[in-house]
Amino acid sequence: MAPAKVASPKPIFGRAATWAEAPLVLIAVPWEGGVSFRRGTAQAPELIRQVSAQIDYYRSESPAITQLPIHWVEPPWDFPASAEKAYETTVLPYVMERVRQAVEAGKVWGLVGGDHSIALGGHYVLDQIAPGYGLLHLDGHADLRPTYEGNPYSHATILYHAAHLKGIESLVAVGIRDWAAEEAQLAQQLAPRLTLFEMRRLRHALYHGRTWAELVGEILSPLPERVYVSLDVDVLEPGYVPHTGTPVPGGFQYEEVFFLLEAIVRSGRKIIAFDVCETGGMELDAIIAAHLLYRLCALAIGLA
């Protein structure tokens, strides 16, 4: 079943595929009601779509990606960027409806945020109709707070909510370097179902002679065959995405992230869905996010 809203598809990555012909759909969620500092991520989905025309589409590791039809799912024209109680009444139902349509149609899907809270609707659907997957959470923050600044759907709560869904077999959080003592305590309580790789630990292992390939093997080992990738762009060093809402120094380099993501596929696992969140509302950030999305599309559809 295709989305109720029928219109000429907008182009993404130089192509404008219909719902019916595209094996992969990108669902735009321009929501920033869960942010706690700097705004702008509500503008990111449309900006990413626009700047995606400026990147080149050939990739040596996945040349077939140039032929992949991708459908861009537009939100309702009156989709709120931020409004009291709009998350439960508008954002969550919108995401769940679009994701359910994609899952039932057998399509690979990705959410384009928006703040990190947008991912919850996708997990709710998978928990209901396609359980038994692992969550790889790439983020500079733990996001393990039950509520933040009075908001139970803050961007700082997504991993907390996900950890309470039985359909997720295991959770792996990578790149964490800014979190509260209460989150660290909860992470210990959730072990071994949750494995958390703090950035300091990873860097010190590298400084003492471990290779990134070895560490990636450890990171992936708790994950089952089916993997959902949640990518908050602030997992990167802030210079890549200087306008993200809550930048943190000491992040990953771009290719370090993709060595990890490509290792998912090399290991025989499958990326079943993904989200890219917290992109700032400026062109530089959108360009980086567009590259992230494009490579994730190739990995998720099995072209890499």
- Give me the residue spans of the domains in the chain: 24-300
Burial class (CB in 10 A: 0-12, 13-18, 19+), 39: middle
Angle, CA of 52, 278 and 90, to the nearest 5°: 95
Positive or negative, the Cα torsion across 210, 297, 82, 85?
A: negative
pTM of the model: 0.95
- The pLDDT tens digits of the residues spanning 6-60 come to 567 999 999 999 999 999 999 999 999 878 778 889 999 999 999 999 999 999 9
Which pLDDT belongs to residue 79?
A: 86
Q: What DSSP letter does each residue of 102-121 carry, written as one string?
A: HHHTT-EEEEEESSGGGHHH
Which pLDDT belongs to residue 82?
A: 83
**Low-confidence stretches of the chain (pLDDT beneath 50):** 1
What letter represents residue 226's amino acid?
R
In words, the CATH class of domain 24-300 is alpha beta
Which pLDDT belongs to residue 184?
A: 97
Question: Is there a contact between 222 and 195 (Cβ–Cβ < 8 Å)?
Answer: yes
Angle, CA of 140, 30 and 148, to the nearest 5°: 45
